[in-house]
Structure 1
């Protein structure tokens, strides 16, 4: 007998991180190494400003 009930969550961590990962994958698709490094540097500067 299976008595498990599904609990509705306000925040789904796995779903959120998959969305973030997919967004980043689309942003960096087709970049070469130098472009990717520039992308990372730009993100690093944005994070420091916050």
Structure 2
């Protein structure tokens, strides 16, 4: 039996890998405290965007 491949409009696995790769690059060489601040700021930004509806 042949597997049928469909064209995806959105590839969640690729998106997650891209996000992970960007974060890895961003935090490379940071201390643990700097990493905590990086993620704290990211969470803060997300919360503000969520409240504003965007």
The two structures have a TM-score, normalised by structure 1, of: 0.86
The two structures have a TM-score, normalised by structure 2, of: 0.80
Number of aligned positions between the proteins = 49
Q: Which sections of structure 1, spanning at least 5 residues, go unmatched? A: none
Misfit runs of 4+, over 6 Å: none
Coordinate RMSD, CA, aligned: 1.0
Query: How far is 1:19 from its partner?
Result: 0.4
Indicate the SS of the match to 2:6: coil
Q: Which sections of structure 2, spanning at least 5 residues, go unmatched? A: 50-54
Give the whole-Å Cα distance in 1 for the aligned partners of 2:4 and 2:39. Answer: 42
Give the whole-Å Cα distance in 2 for the aligned partners of 1:3 and 1:44. Answer: 44
